[in-house]
Amino acid sequence: MKKVLVILLLLLVIAGIGYYGWQQYQEAQTRLWEEKAQLAEETLKPIKLQFKATLMNGLQQGVVEAIDYCNLEAPEITEKVPDGVEVGRTSHKVRNPANEPTDLLQAPLDYYLEMERLGNETSGQITQLPSGEWLYVEPIYTQAMCLACHGENLAPQVQTAINDKYPNDKATGFKEGELRGMFWLKLQEDFGE
């Protein structure tokens, strides 16, 4: 009888230690994820700002002239992308087929669409991939300045120029405030350490 009690007690202690350890582990994990999400957000910020500045500069020459500026490829933008980071955009309605969501990006994109349907506010999300890399995503909402090329009524010459370059364009008909797509950022596992 005594032996059984001792064993029971021991098991309880072991379970207790295990639980404590698990909690510590979870807290450390949460902290790490929060840190990585913040790091990713801070890394994306100058890229987004430069993107917008480049696009606005382009628009000053005219909408048709600016068609090539809604892009992350410009050198002044790519130079804001540090080593160990990959950045891109995707959408549920793409203009450039190269931006179609991959299997990996489909889930967070669906999540943002669902949040929009429910009328919920959202922000950036982070996850760690099996490779150890961190995948950060952030929703992109349609602003007034986007409507000239993504809105409901494009000027005929803009429509023509877009059709010429993107015969399978799906990225029109958006309203201000609507989800336009998503930025994604992949960080190397030890990026920023």
Binding-site member from 37, 44, 80, 95 for ligand HEC (CB under 6 A): 95
Per CB under 6 A, does 105 bind ligand HEC?
no
> Is-contact 155 63, C-beta < 8 A?
yes
> Is-contact 163 169, C-beta < 8 A?
yes
Per CB under 6 A, does 91 bind ligand HEC?
yes
Read off the tokens for 28.
Answer: 């450390």
Per CB under 6 A, does 36 bind ligand HEC?
no
Applying CB under 6 A, the site for ligand HEC has a residue count of 24
> Is-contact 132 189, C-beta < 8 A?
yes
Name the minimum Å distance from CB 92 to ligand HEC.
9
* Residue 152 CB contacts under 8 Å (≥ 6 apart), including other chains: 172, 173, 174, 175
Summarize as ranges the residues that interact with ligand HEC (CB under 6 A): 55, 59, 63, 66-67, 70-71, 89, 91, 94-96, 99, 140, 142-143, 145-146, 148-150, 171, 180-181
